[in-house]
Every structure is written in structure tokens, then in C-alpha cells.
A and B are shown apart, each in its own frame.
Chain A
Amino acid sequence: MTSTGLILKDVHLGIGGRTLLNGLSLEIAPGEIVTLMGESGSGKSSLIAYICGSLDAEFDVAGSITLEEQDIVSLPIERRRIGVMFQDDVLFAHMSVGENLAFAVPKGIGKAERQRRVDDALVEAELEGFAARDPATLSGGQKARVALMRALLAEPRAMLLDEPFSRLDATLRERVRNFAFTTIKRRNIPALLVTHDLQDKTDRVITLGTANN
């Protein structure tokens, strides 16, 4: 295993004197998707927030997180370059599907190239011709695919998936899950999925104990 992936070392999370995570260490190599399985209340969503940088200040935290050998704990969200796929798709309602995607393309790229990347993303998500659509008109599975493509267009160094399939119905969940896993693998970045769905199996599954008070 290389040291260039996402590495958690001895991570502790707690809130109000209650321990959520007690010394979690984990290495995720580029191209690997690790599943963190746990009941609600086991601190898995807080861990996602801690890695992504959006954890509330009221949490007590300890432990290091490095990504591509850089310590990211002290960086604000926007400097971490970690993509997140949330439970809700959070597509921006005032932008078209194409604009949502273009929003994520890094700056300093010419107009034609931006457009090409957006088009490629739509093709990859099997959503050709959807650029002008209003996100509200998309189905749940389509929204999830756009949300993932948007996160990936920002060229993240790692991906976090916070129960992204739980809102989809069973048949759709299977398809979107396969799409997400192959698409992320293609980017060759480390990814962490938290879920309580036993079907969400990936390269490696780690089960968290329920809130070990």
C-alpha cells in the first residue's frame, strides 16, 4: 500500500463527553473504495464531516488525516479538495444541469474546454442532451449521477460518500451504486463510503461498533 492515499491515524471523535470514535486508523489507497459500516449514532457521518472539513466546532477531535502526504486537518473545506456525495443530491435549483456541472470545473480553463468536460461528464453519466434541463425535472437516479459527476469535475483528490444511495429505491440503488463505483475507480482516487446498507459492499468493509460509550 502506498502512502499517497487518504490516511487516518488514531482519529478520536466525541461530543459532550460522549465518545463516538475511539482511535480509528485507516489507509485508503488511490483507486480503492472502503466501506465504513455502522448503525446510526456510530459517528460515521461525523467522521465524514471531519474528513471533509465541515464538522461543527462543538465536537472534540483528535488524530491526523493526511491526503497525498499533506496534513489536511487544519485546512478549510475549500482548500482540501475532497469531493463529497451527500444523502441529498443538493443540485443547485437556480442552475441548469449543465451549469451545475460547469460550476465545478476548475478555473483557468478555456470556455471550449470547459464545455467539452461538461459534455463528457454527461456522456459518462448517460445523460447526453440533459445540459439545459432544470434539475427539478430529473429522476432520483439521474440527480444522483449528476451530483457525482459534479463532485468529480472539481478534480478532487479523494471522494467521500455519505449514504448517497439510501434515498433511492432498491432497483435503482444497485445501478447508481455500480455507476458510482466504476466512475470513481476510473479517477484512481481514494474513496470512503459510509452506509448502514449491507448491500453497499466495496473493496474493503470496516464495521464500526455501535456507540461504545
Chain B
Amino acid sequence: MARPLRDVSISKSALARNPFGWAPPLTFAIFVGPILLGLFGTLLPSFGLQPALGQFELSLNPWCAFLSDPALVKSLRLTLTVGFGATAIAVIIGFGSVATLYGTRAFAVVRALLAPALAFPHASFAVGLAFLIAPSGWIARLLSPWATGWDQPPDLLIIRDPDAIALMLSLALKESLFLILMIVGALGQINAGTMMRSARSMGYAPARAWLLVVAPQIYAQVRLPIYAMLASALSIVDMAIVLGPAAPPPLAPMTLDWFRELDTARQLMASAAAIFQLLLVIVAILLWRLGETIVRQSMRGLLTSGIRHGWSERIVGSVGKVGIAFALVASLGAILMLIFWSFAGTWSWPSALPEQWSTAMWVRSVDTLAELVGRSAIIGIAVSAVATALTILCLEAGVGRSTPRWLAILYIPLLVPQISFLFGIQLLWNRLWLDGTVVAVALTQLLFVLPYVFLVLSDPYRALDPLIAIAARSLGASRVRTLFKIKLPLLARPVAGAMAIGFAVSVGLYLPTMFAGAGRIDTLTTEAIALASGADRRQAGIIAFALTVLPFMALALVNLAPNWERRTSR
């Protein structure tokens, strides 16, 4: 009885006099404005309209040129392979592994490894993985020549294979970790433990009970992140440049190549390709939805068949367990490779370890490294701080308390292919004389950092007992004073955590940095990708290693923040 009353009184007072009322409209403008302008700025050129250059004549030429490109069909096929393949495999690994591991000690281990594994940027994961699995990589070295008979690196397309299988599998492993983290979060929202006990007391085997009873309810909670995974897999660029085929590449990297050409006709064609990918993602999500319905219908029979255990859950569970093991081993192996290569003196094939260790490359790169680390860190700190501040102000203004619609808006930058609006945003910055500046990079990164910060911070923020703030204000403290003196100190740990996540996202962003920086602002990520295809593994190893260390350090620093959450919730 007391509960609803309490809520009502809070929302009333919040509406009556809210000093933070300006925050949501401001955030909305910073957030939705560039996205809409960016989409618009990409859409116009795809129909030949370039107001800046005085081109006002509507034309279908860019679309015709794009649709008749000889590489389109192959490139589209690669895009669909990577998009649907990686997402489907990640979903199977994610759900399969939690189904078998739920409630076991191994699950606690996996959970502890998730945060560091996720902080591993895609770009450095790709570079390290390439060093691991390439024909001249570590695995081939460990097996040669005694098991393989290879005296020199074999001429095999293990990575950058023309069908993009390596890219699809690598991305699936990386994304499965993200999905498991989402599943773990969703487990807390439903009464999973009691439901499992209930189903098991009726005789259901644990993995089957989890898949039939818990998984469908979890799926409803993680549906949006899965769509975001699908969208990003369909438009992946950074990992595709390192691990994907080049002739032709999937659509997104191909579009990036066209944008980079100085030929106007090519750029118009690229605009058409960018808009096409937006449509492709929309269709793909609808198809995925259809798939969901089909799976749900075919599962209905299983729910009521009364079968308590069988092969299906064992197969799914085994696939999941093997998958999660691969994902963790691949992450660990990739980091090892970055360390090995950055400290390698001479390392000839097929030695398993460098014949000579050396810091020469580190010494030689120290200036470049300092510059790149400094720039990446400053942008990352600025962007995550602004994103965290905006999030707190919006939450304080009551955003997300009543309408979850706000969350859907937040997901837009994660659901729309980056390339579909980044070109337009670059034009926007160009109009404002900002393109190629750190400010433009930071503002653009904010679009991708803000959603994560909001998603991470909003739950602990709302979980804070509202009576604490009421008590403070009844003692005469203003709302602002209550926020700074009571709420933020109590929420120090989650706020620090959200900032660290924001920092990690910012540091790892490739395409937004690329476009907004107009190729003139180098960060660790852009440099790591640029060096990945180069000949010098040592230098690529150093940059990619530094890129990995930054977010790890940010996450480690979170532990310094005082943690009141645990004490207040028990």
C-alpha cells in the first residue's frame, strides 16, 4: 500500500519545481539533431543533390551506378553472411552457454571474465586475433613444422578469406561475450532462480529447464541489444578491414573506400550505398523478427510435450560451452600476441617465441605513442564526462522513470548503420567549420557513448532508495545540494563505472573518429587499423596493445571509487 503512494508523491514534486528540466531537451538536441541531419545529409547526395556545391538537380544516377556495380552482389552476400551468421552464432553461444553454466561455479568464473573481455576494443581484438590465426600466426608456429610439415607460412587464406568466414566467426565470438553480459543483467530482472527450482522439481534437466522456462523470458529483455548486434554486424568496418576479404569487401568497408575516393561520382554512389545499408538493416531486423516468431512457434510444442531431457539441450549446451571457451581463449590469445609482437626483437618462422626480446620498437615509437595515447585519452575523458553529466541530469529530470520510449531513442545510433549518417554528419561539421577537429570527433563520439552510459547508469540510479533524497531535502537541502552532497557520493561507484564504460567505447570507436576527423585526427584505433594491413607487426602490436591498455586502466580505476551500493542494499 505504501509503495504507489510514495511514487506518486515523488513524481509530483519532481514536476512541480525541477531545476534540471532543461537537461532532456538539450540532450535530445545534441543527440537526435546530428543523427537526423546526418541521415538527411547522406540521403540528399544519394539523389544527386549537393546544395553546398550548387547541385540542385534531382538524379537517380548515384543509385543506378551503385545498383549496377559489378561487385554489389558478392559484397551483399558477404554482408548478409557476416550479419546473420555472426549474430545467430553469438545468440546460440550466448544462450547455450548460460543454459549449461547457470548455477555452476564455472558461471561465476565466466561472469568475472566478462567485463575485461568486453573492454577489449574490437580493433585490437581483430589485430591480435590475426596474429594468432593467420598462416604465419602463432597457432601455425606452434604446430609447425612437426605437425603440419610447413617449412614456411602456408599460402592459405585463413584470414581475409573471400567468403568472410573468418570475419563472421571472430565477430560471433566477440559479440557472444557482449550478449552473455546482457543475459546476466536480464537474469536479475526475472525470478530466474525460483523458476529454475520450480521446473527442476517437476523433473526437468537443468539446461532444458533453463532453455524452456528462463530463456524465452530473457530473450524478451535482450531483444533490443540483439537487434543492435545484428545492425552492427551488417555494417561492421574495423574488424572487416583487418579480418575480412578485400576484393570485394562487405558493403560497409566498400562504401568507406568509395567515400575516400576524391571522385565526386564515387562519393554520390557511396551515399546511395550508405542509405541502402540503412534499408538493409531495417529489412534484416524485420526478417529476424519473423525468425523469432518461427522459432517461438516451433518451441511451443516442446513446452507442453512433457519431455524432461533429451539431446537438443545437450547439443545447444555443448555448442555454447565450446563457443564461450573459444571466445575467452581467443581474447586471451589476442592480448598475448599483441604483447609478444610489441616486444619481439627477431622472431623468425616457425619459432614459437621471439629469439630475441627487445624494447627497441617501444623506444622508437614513444613520441607517436604519447601523442596518440594523449589524444585518445583526452577525447575519451571529455566524451565520457559529458555523457555521464548529461545522463545524470536527464535522470534527475525524471527521464526514463515513466516512459521507456526514451530508451528506444537512445538505441537509434546503435540500430542505424554508422555509415548511413556519418557521411552526412561530416558535411554538417564541414558547414560549421568544425570538420577535422577534435571537437567534431568528440561530439560525434558522444552519439555512441551516451547510450551505453545511460544504459549502465540508469538502473543503479533508480535503485537508490528515494527516501534518502527525501530525507535530505526534508532537512532543508536543495535538490542541487542533495544531488551533489548525497546522491552522487552514494552513487560514486556506478557513476565511475558508467564513465569507464563510456571511455572504453570512445577509445574503441573507429568509423565515427574516421569521418568526423576527416582523416586528420589520428587516434589509437584509427592507427591500429591503418597499421593492421601493413608489414610491421611490431608497430601494429604496440599501438593495438596501448589501445587495449587504456580501457582496462579505466575499468581498474573504477575500483578506487567508494562502493556504498552494497552496504545500502543489504
With A103-B304, A114-B306 in contact, is A76–B200 under 8 Å at CB? Answer: yes
The range of chain A's interface size is: 20 to 34
Q: Is A154 an interface residue (CB 8 A)?
A: yes
Greatest chain A CB density within 10 A among B200, B201, B213 is at B201
CB pair A78–B206 under 8 Å, yes or no, is yes
Stretch from B190-198, B262-270, B354-362, B480-488 that touches the partner: B190-198
Q: Is B220 an interface residue (CB 8 A)?
A: yes
The residue from A82, A102, A103, A107 contacting B201, defined by CB atoms under 8 A apart: A82
CB pair B202–A90 under 8 Å, yes or no, is no
Instruction: Please give, as numbers and ranges, the residues of chain B lying within 8 Å of A81 by CB-CB distance.
Output: 203
Greatest chain A CB density within 10 A among B209, B220, B304, B309 is at B304
CB pair A99–B304 under 8 Å, yes or no, is yes
Looking across the interface, which residue of chain A has its beta carbon closest to that of B201? A84
Greatest chain B CB density within 10 A among A78, A102, A109, A154 is at A78
Instruction: Please give, as numbers and ranges, the residues of chain A lying within 8 Å of B195 by CB-CB distance.
Output: 90, 92
The residue from B191, B194, B200, B201 contacting A151, defined by CB atoms under 8 A apart: B201
Binary CB contact string for chain A from 129 to 151 against chain B (1 if under 8 A, 0 otherwise): 00000000000000000000011
CB pair A154–B220 under 8 Å, yes or no, is no
With A88-B191, A99-B304, A107-B308 in contact, is A83–B201 under 8 Å at CB? Answer: yes
Looking across the interface, which residue of chain A has its beta carbon closest to that of B218? A94
CB pair B303–A102 under 8 Å, yes or no, is yes
Q: Is A192 an interface residue (CB 8 A)?
A: no
Nearest Cβ on chain B to A86's Cβ, whole angstroms: 6
Could you tell me the distance between the alpha carbons of A76 and B104 in the complex, rounded to whole angstroms? Answer: 13
CB pair B303–A90 under 8 Å, yes or no, is no
Q: Is B216 an interface residue (CB 8 A)?
A: yes
Classify the secondary structure of B's interface with A. Answer: helix
CB pair B203–A95 under 8 Å, yes or no, is no
CB pair A86–B198 under 8 Å, yes or no, is yes
Nearest Cβ on chain A to B218's Cβ, whole angstroms: 10
Looking across the interface, which residue of chain B has its beta carbon closest to that of A92? B213
Instruction: Please give, as numbers and ranges, the residues of chain A lying within 8 Å of B205 by CB-CB distance.
Output: 78
Greatest chain B CB density within 10 A among A53, A54, A83 is at A54
CB pair A90–B307 under 8 Å, yes or no, is no
Could you tell me the distance between the alpha carbons of A88 and B216 in the complex, rounded to whole angstroms? Answer: 20
CB pair A90–B200 under 8 Å, yes or no, is no
CB pair B203–A106 under 8 Å, yes or no, is yes
Instruction: Please give, as numbers and ranges, the residues of chain A lying within 8 Å of B203 by CB-CB distance.
Output: 78-79, 81, 106, 154
CB pair A154–B307 under 8 Å, yes or no, is no
Nearest Cβ on chain A to B299's Cβ, whole angstroms: 10
Nearest Cβ on chain A to B551's Cβ, whole angstroms: 34
Could you tell me the distance between the alpha carbons of A76 and B203 in the complex, rounded to whole angstroms? Answer: 9
Nearest Cβ on chain A to B212's Cβ, whole angstroms: 8
Q: Is B448 an interface residue (CB 8 A)?
A: no
Looking across the interface, which residue of chain B has its beta carbon closest to that of A105? B306
Nearest Cβ on chain A to B175's Cβ, whole angstroms: 24
Q: Give chain A interface residues in 70-118, CB to chain B under 8 Å.
A: 76-84, 86, 88, 90, 92-95, 99, 102-109, 114
Binary CB contact string for chain B from 173 to 214 against chain A (1 if under 8 A, 0 otherwise): 000000000000000001100110111111111100100110
With A52-B201, A82-B201, A83-B201 in contact, is A102–B194 under 8 Å at CB? Answer: no
Looking across the interface, which residue of chain B has its beta carbon closest to that of A106? B306
Nearest Cβ on chain A to B541's Cβ, whole angstroms: 43
Looking across the interface, which residue of chain A has its beta carbon closest to that of B195? A90
CB pair B217–A92 under 8 Å, yes or no, is yes
Could you tell me the distance between the alpha carbons of A105 and B203 in the complex, rounded to whole angstroms? Answer: 10
Instruction: Please give, as numbers and ranges, the residues of chain A lying within 8 Å of B213 by CB-CB distance.
Output: 92, 103
Instruction: Please give, as numbers and ranges, the residues of chain A lying within 8 Å of B191 by CB-CB distance.
Output: 88, 90
Instruction: Please give, as numbers and ranges, the residues of chain A lying within 8 Å of B194 by CB-CB distance.
Output: 86, 88, 90
Could you tell me the distance between the alpha carbons of A83 and B216 in the complex, rounded to whole angstroms? Answer: 23
CB pair B202–A83 under 8 Å, yes or no, is yes
CB pair B220–A77 under 8 Å, yes or no, is no
Could you tell me the distance between the alpha carbons of A154 and B199 in the complex, rounded to whole angstroms? Answer: 10
CB pair B197–A84 under 8 Å, yes or no, is yes
Could you tell me the distance between the alpha carbons of A90 and B195 in the complex, rounded to whole angstroms? Answer: 6
Nearest Cβ on chain B to A103's Cβ, whole angstroms: 6
CB pair B198–A93 under 8 Å, yes or no, is no
Could you tell me the distance between the alpha carbons of A76 and B200 in the complex, rounded to whole angstroms? Answer: 9
Nearest Cβ on chain A to B99's Cβ, whole angstroms: 14
CB pair A102–B217 under 8 Å, yes or no, is no
Q: Is B305 an interface residue (CB 8 A)?
A: yes
Nearest Cβ on chain B to A99's Cβ, whole angstroms: 5
The residue from B197, B303, B307, B309 contacting A99, defined by CB atoms under 8 A apart: B303
Nearest Cβ on chain B to A37's Cβ, whole angstroms: 23
Instruction: Please give, as numbers and ranges, the residues of chain B lying within 8 Å of A99 by CB-CB distance.
Output: 300, 303-304
CB pair A102–B204 under 8 Å, yes or no, is no
Could you tell me the distance between the alpha carbons of A54 and B199 in the complex, rounded to whole angstroms? Answer: 12
Could you tell me the distance between the alpha carbons of A95 and B309 in the complex, rounded to whole angstroms? Answer: 19
CB pair A94–B201 under 8 Å, yes or no, is no
Nearest Cβ on chain A to B95's Cβ, whole angstroms: 14
Binary CB contact string for chain A from 149 to 185 against chain B (1 if under 8 A, 0 otherwise): 0110010100000000000000000000000000000
The residue from A54, A76, A93, A114 contacting B304, defined by CB atoms under 8 A apart: A114
Q: Give chain B interface residues in 311-357, CB to chain A under 8 Å.
A: none
The 3 closest A-B pairs by CB, nearest first: A102-B304, A154-B202, A107-B306
Given A92-B217, A103-B199, 17 more contacts at CB 8 Å? A54-B197, A78-B308, A80-B201, A81-B203, A82-B201, A84-B197, A84-B198, A90-B195, A95-B303, A103-B202, A103-B212, A103-B306, A104-B202, A105-B304, A107-B307, A109-B306, A114-B306
By a beta-carbon cutoff of 8 Å, the part of chain B in contact with chain A is 190-191, 194-195, 197-206, 209, 212-213, 216-217, 220, 300, 303-309
Instruction: Give me 15 A-to-B residue pairs in the complex whose CB atoms sit less than 8 angstroms apart, sorted by A's number.
Output: A52-B197, A52-B201, A76-B206, A78-B201, A78-B209, A81-B203, A84-B197, A84-B201, A92-B213, A93-B217, A102-B303, A102-B306, A107-B305, A107-B307, A109-B306
